[in-house]
Amino acid sequence: MALLPILQHPDPRLRQKAAPVTVFDARLQTLIDDLFETMYDAPGVGLAATQVGVMLRVAVMDCAPKDEPPERVVIINPDILSSADRQDMEEGCLSVPDTSEKVPRYNRLHLRALDRHGQTFEVQAEGLMAQAIQHEIDHLDGKLYIDYLSSLKRERINKKLRKQRQTA
């Protein structure tokens, strides 16, 4: 396994739409393992392949509380079938470091996806898991959570990130 570099906003690759996965081979399995290792190291609760420059519809998540066993979830070629209970939720992103804002998300959803072996599964998700699924699917579609913010809030975040890059 390897730690992968996480792309940072405004890297244009974060705006690319990912291609569907069609081959479930050893390279895909290695990518999934590397995504988990990178996500845990960051640390975060989710990571999409596009965030490490791999333009495939793959994302990993683990929304288990820190004092509980891991709940590793892999979603490939995900499709949200239904959603309900829209509300504003606090959100951050490994590709937009050291920032967070409230964005509209659905608190409940029904997802269909493929697992790491290409088997179809469906899940009803709530709370943080539902939020993470939506966030990672946005990445696969070339969107960032800051796209849901007002232009004023987006510019404030962009200014903060530019300042961080200048002092790094």
> What is the chain written as a DSSP string?
----PPP-TT-GGGGSPPBPP---SHHHHHHHHHHHHHHHHTT-SEEEGGGGT--BSEEEEE---TTS---EEEEEEEEEEEEEEEEEEEEEETTEEEEEEEEEEEEEEEEEEE-TTS-EEEEEEEHHHHHHHHHHHHHHTT--GGGGS-HHHHHHHHHHHHHHHHH-
Q: Are 46 and 36 in contact (CB under 8 A)?
A: no
Q: Indicate whether 168 pLDDT > 90.
A: no
The CATH number covering residue 150 comes to 3.90.45.10
Tracing tokens 């409230």 back to the chain, one arrives at: 102
Q: From the candidates 71, 91, 136, 155, which is the catalytic residue?
A: 136
Domain membership of residue 138 (yes or no) is yes
pLDDT at 167 > cutoff 90: no
Residue 7 maps to a domain: no
Would you say residue 63 lies in a domain? yes
Question: Known catalytic residue: 136?
Answer: yes
Q: Is 111 within a domain? A: yes
The tally of domains found in the chain comes to 1
* Structural domain includes residue 124: yes
Position 74 pLDDT exceeds 80? yes
Report pLDDT digits (tens) over 82-95.
999 999 999 999 99
2 belongs to a structural domain: no
Answer whether residue 65 is part of any domain: yes
> Does residue 56 belong to any structural domain of this protein?
yes
Read off the pLDDT of residues 105-161 as tens digits, 9 standing for 90 and up. Answer: 999 999 999 999 999 999 999 999 999 999 999 999 999 999 999 999 999 999 998
pTM of the predicted protein model = 0.95
Q: Are 56 and 75 in contact (CB under 8 A)?
A: no
Query: Rounded to an integer, what distance in angstroms lies between the CA atom of residue 166 and that of residue 146?
Result: 21
Cis status of the peptide bond prior to 10, with omega within 30 of 0: yes
The range of the structural domain enclosing residue 17 comes to: 12-167
Tell me: pLDDT of 1 over 90.
no
List pLDDT tens digits, range 51-70: 999 999 999 999 999 899 99
pLDDT in tens, 37-56: 999 999 999 999 999 999 99
CB 61 within 8 A of CB 136: yes
Nearest 10 degrees: CA dihedral of 29, 35, 38, 39? -140
